Structure 1
């Protein structure tokens, strides 16, 4: 009953004189009527106060239930992204590895849930007594009541853990996925999340324990840096140390391969452990694109991930003031950036290749979503479009650089999540609007450089981005080197050539011979030789199952 003071004031200013005049005219002169009016208004005042006492906890309960419901809805949308990532990776790789790709995403998701429950949530926690580097409260969710918050934060951890899976696809042992997902979810990502989002984190823009870095902290609303750069850097070190897929860059030692072998020899005396096709067994050209086999999975996966992003970004607004306004704005900027990046990539790739490319436009759209995730709440609509436009060029340039340096990332995860995530962090330091920063974060005098806010916000973002990259590189790079050292990283050449569906899962990704893996397995059984199989488009006409078409490649 927030209006009760107005009601009582109105009663005393208008009702008492009218009540007094009425009784003096109709009954008898004197002060009795005025006293009666006062007593009447006192009773109204008492009733209003009691209603306010009852209404306050009801209002608090309603707000709490609404927040919890919003978190649950958002986390389910984010979790759906795991299915989108799995479909994207399965469609973007060769049919002979489909079962293995899907299995790795399930294993990564399950591992992240277990170890974020045991360790990760506590290390990312937001308790008052936590230090600036990492949390230390609620291991195993001990004495923690808001389970929906744990689920919400785990959905982000699972997304970060899923990113490197695409970088490692088609040549990595299953145990590698489980091991890296465990370390990333239990320790590496939670520490970064604590830095960026905890009220005690040293990088946090909402820090209340101690001062904010450069007076502002790092504004990373949905996690361009905390989630995407973390996952992208982890994937980069995995693919860099492991080396490219067989035939991706021809049967020769590339500069990166030689660097890998030199590094391995210096550290372990085991250059021979870098096990890609360095002896000339496979010669498929320099470079070979190794196209994916199913455009339908790629497009469906993209839409699943795009849909999940509306839980990722708007869902992060649940703890801000004026939530409805913030959620609406975040949803709009997220859409505009993704759309701008997708359209830009579509036309640039058309000019580069001479034809339209479905997979390229899908990755371009995701690049725009990754980029806007940091500043979606604090940039204007035109800035979101500009951010997405530049993100497309960052992705295209990253792809050219990775091919030039002969680093094989089947899903372009490194360049998409690291490159575009980093651009998203930096552009927020440039284009954060003063009014939005004040509304969402309560920060005065710290906003985008191009709005005249000085360079302190941008400086905080540069420092934060640098520290995230170094932290993840040290932790995940060391892990992948150790896995490489003990032969736990890469599968054998024979397994990679024949495909992981048959050699690891002992099954087929598709039934009734509808995949390249099925046809090649039948051919292998007749000849006794393994065949390096890929997409359906490479099959001879007589090998294609009924209803299949060679144009099924992405």
Structure 2
């Protein structure tokens, strides 16, 4: 009994440390996204976008603690679903352990969603609007989707021991749909309600390129996001030391390295395809486009990273690159302005990731991950791998309901903010830049008098003059 207790203690300790380390990696993605956003906007809005990234994390933390976690994983009848601090009551859920480490890991996912949406409405949004939508998105909209797909009691889950949708449930292992599609569709409605930035399209409707001001930040941010994705995807196993039922020498650890490999291959393939494709389309090599291509591949593989072969991850990344390129072309034709391509990247590639999993999920890996290695319990897998139509049907349903849910919640929210005149800044403020009009000065100090940016006092005088 002493040995058994000691072994259990060691196992729990290793699982906890692994989950916490993964949570730290996912949180580092906030730093990567802040750098990516700052480099992708014009210099006059750099301070604003950095502040919104901090606010998304801080406000999202409080919202997710108070409401979000309970909405996502709360089922106990004796806990108030509106008070997340009662999450210890969730310990009665079978086959799932909810503790501080699990909460922290899920929190890191939740605050990433608001960051995605912030990119879509950058350079033209009032700061107060960020506070409102960040709180609502992380406290209510995202957690409901997380409950559907990731809770053992969710109607879309692939992990429940009870009846599954189409005998399969939707496989979204690390969040192509739950995280990225949610953030992308929320950003779609925000950018649509606000409209394009001033000067984004000329009088004839042709797009005018507004280049980000710092390619160095974009590239460094991309590499930090790449690093963080190794917590995002492999970390989603949650417990590393979980032996499979029908085996003596296998467990979650057998799939963790494979998941890291599929993640790497999908992102790398998407980056290379974007590099050469954009070279043919625009005539030069563009590091900004390549970085977004890499991220698009990561977004797409996030759904099926644990249940596909490495060669399939290459297919995933190849298609993801063209999904991103195609949606960017379509966005310009529709005069849709998303400064960071967040809607196209996270929304489009996230949707493709869910469909990809329904096409290429391998039977052996699906049984390992979702049946705990019980190979004698049949379930659908990828339709192109001979697994029938159950999984792909569940994946399509997941895409449709996520798009629908986010649309009926975030669309009206952004419209209400617009009608209340607390969504978009004025034209004068936008032309001056959010840094000087809302935050008291620019992020960068220029010591050359002739090149000195517009100071706040100058902006105020111009604003008063335009009113007169």
Normalising by structure 1, report the TM-score: 0.76
Give matches, 1:198-237, under 5 Å.
198-208=151-161, 210-237=162-189
Contact residue 429 and residue 458 of structure 1 kept, 8 A? yes
Q: Deviations over 1:328-349 (max 9, x none)?
A: 1100000000000000000001
Q: How far does residue 444 in structure 1 lie from its aligned partner after superposition? A: 1.9
The match for 1:160 among 113, 125, 149 is 113
Give matches, 1:29-428, under 5 Å.
53-125=1-73, 127=75, 136=81, 139-143=84-88, 146-208=99-161, 210-251=162-203, 286-319=206-239, 321=244, 322-428=251-357
Q: How far does residue 529 in structure 1 lie from its aligned partner after superposition? A: 5.6
C-alpha change, 1:308 and 1:515, in structure 2 (3 Å) is farther
Q: How far does residue 141 in structure 1 lie from its aligned partner after superposition? A: 3.8
Contact residue 432 and residue 448 of structure 1 kept, 8 A? yes
Runs of at least 5 residues in structure 1 that lack an aligned partner in the other structure: 1-52, 255-285, 531-554
SS of 1:428's equivalent in the other structure is: helix
In the aligned structure 2, how far is the partner of 1:370 from the partner of 1:64?
Answer: 30
Question: Is residue 2:410 matched to residue 1:462?
Answer: no
Size of the aligned set, in residue pairs, is: 441
In the aligned structure 1, how far is the partner of 2:310 from the partner of 2:442?
Answer: 47
C-alpha change, 1:200 and 1:499, in structure 2 (3 Å) is same
Q: Deviations over 1:484-533 (max 9, x none)?
A: 010010001100001111111012211234899x7331699599768xxx
C-alpha change, 1:356 and 1:126, in structure 2 (3 Å) is same
Contact residue 126 and residue 200 of structure 1 kept, 8 A? no
SS of 2:238's equivalent in the other structure is: helix
Tell me the C-alpha RMSD between the 2 structures: 2.3
Q: How far does residue 445 in structure 1 lie from its aligned partner after superposition? A: 3.1
C-alpha change, 1:163 and 1:523, in structure 2 (3 Å) is closer
SS of 1:465's equivalent in the other structure is: helix
Q: How far does residue 312 in structure 1 lie from its aligned partner after superposition? A: 0.3
Q: Deviations over 1:396-446 (max 9, x none)?
A: 001001001000000000000010000000010000000001111116231
In the aligned structure 1, how far is the partner of 2:331 from the partner of 2:354?
Answer: 21
Contact residue 228 and residue 370 of structure 1 kept, 8 A? yes
Answer 1 or 2: higher relative contact order, Cα 8 Å, separation at least 6.
2
In the aligned structure 2, how far is the partner of 1:160 from the partner of 1:100?
Answer: 18
In the aligned structure 2, how far is the partner of 1:135 from the partner of 1:526?
Answer: 49
Q: Deviations over 1:176-205 (max 9, x none)?
A: 111101111111000000000101100000
Q: Deviations over 1:250-299 (max 9, x none)?
A: 247x7xxxxxxxxxxxxxxxxxxxxxxxxxxxxxxx21111110011101
The match for 1:482 among 393, 416, 421 is 416
In the aligned structure 1, how far is the partner of 2:460 from the partner of 2:302?
Answer: 52
Q: How far does residue 381 in structure 1 lie from its aligned partner after superposition? A: 0.7
Contact residue 382 and residue 391 of structure 2 kept, 8 A? yes
C-alpha change, 1:336 and 1:401, in structure 2 (3 Å) is same
